[in-house]
Amino acid sequence: MRGTAMIRSMTGFGEAEQAVANARLRVQIKTVNHRFFNLSLRVPGELERHELMLRDLLRGYLPRGHVVYTLSLELDPAAHASASLELDRERARRYRDLLVELKNELGLTGDVELALVAGRADLFQAPPGGSRSLAPEVDLETLRGLTEEAARAVVVMREAEGQRLVADLRERLGEIERQVAEIEDRAPERLVVERDRLREAIARLMDSKQVDEDRLAREIAYLAERWDLSEEIVRLRSHIALFREILASDAAEPVGKRLSFLVQEMHREATTLGAKANDEVIAHASLSVKEQIERIREQVENVE
């Protein structure tokens, strides 16, 4: 039904229509992002019996997202005009007889003409059931075919929007990788800076006496262990690689939930990088990484 899957947005629109008897049947489908399949059906009362079929059909094409399905049956104006009112003939005759009686009783002149009787609005009434009685029968296969046509149009739009999302996501992943490389290059330098700072501070405290290099080396080693970012960087790069792999995959199932999970893990590693920064350059780069991840999170919310 859906063919080879692509990364799809959950934003889309599709419609289809067909003439049936004295009316026109129109289907419109609008979708926006939602964590699950959430359907809102707007169907004429005489077609409500098909709602279960419509729900199952739409879920097959659009497994995630808020889906608004509108089915309308519009009567042709000519058919509506010719059958939407009925003449109360008995009432018209009674009006004519009463007017003739009044003319004779009062000795009035003139004829009781059509215009005089037709001016009475209550002579024209809607048929029982109103325009609903004019609605033609809609067979199940016609309804199914129109719904599938509109759903396919939604899928095409969601796939096109999905490809634009993919291009944006890849660009943001590239920016994260650039910032991570900057963090990795900077990480050893901060230990050198901290070593020199500690040496100067100890020398001042000891009134310029010889600094115990062994003790200083142990302190730096302790800091190096506390400030080590290698695990976070490795995990972050692993998440990015898997994210790219999913974007490039031909998996038939929706991937939005998997991408959302990866975004959470990426955010966790970026937060740890910032907490262990102890360096202005690394702190700034970590903040940039988190900002890009937040933009990715917003985009992924709209991925099926």
181 pLDDT more than 90 = yes
Q: What is the mean pLDDT of residues 144-170?
A: 94
| Predicted confidence band of residue 267 (pLDDT cuts 50, 70, 90) | very high
> Residues 83, 55: contact at Cβ < 8 Å?
no
**Average pLDDT taken over every residue of the chain:** 81
- The residue among 218 and 182 whose pLDDT is bigger is 182
Assign 3-class secondary structure to 60-94: HHCCCEEEEEEEEEEECHHHHHHHCCEECHHHHHH
Domain boundaries, the chain: 12-78+138-156, 86-125, 163-300
Angle, helices 213-226/140-205, rounded to nearest 10 degrees: 170
> Residues 122, 91: contact at Cβ < 8 Å?
yes
| Predicted confidence band of residue 225 (pLDDT cuts 50, 70, 90) | low
DSSP the chain: ---S----BS-EEEEEEEEETTEEEEEEEEEE--SSEEEEEE--GGGGGGHHHHHHHHHHH--SEEEEEEEEEEE-HHHHHHHS-EE-HHHHHHHHHHHHHHHHHHT--S---HHHHHT-GGGEEPPTTGGGGGPPP--HHHHHHHHHHHHHHHHHHHHHHHHHHHHHHHHHHHHHHHHHHHHHHHHHHHHHHHHHHHHHHHHHHTTTPPP-HHHHHHHHHHHHHHT--HHHHHHHHHHHHHHHHHHH---SS--HHHHHHHHHHHHHHHHHHHHT--SHHHHHHHHHHHHHHHHHHHHHTTB-
Closest CA relative to residue 229, chosen from 200, 263, 186, 192 = 186
1 pLDDT more than 50 = no
> Residues 57, 39: contact at Cβ < 8 Å?
no
250 pLDDT more than 90 = no
How do residues 15-73 score in pLDDT, each as one tens digit?
Answer: 999 988 777 889 999 999 988 899 999 998 878 889 999 999 999 999 889 999 999 88
Give me the pLDDT at residue 83, please: 52
Closest CA relative to residue 150, chosen from 3, 8, 10, 14 = 14
Please state which CATH class domain 12-78+138-156 belongs to: alpha beta
Sign of the C-alpha dihedral, residues 292, 160, 145, 28?
A: positive
Residues forming beta bridges with residue 75, ordered by sequence position: 23
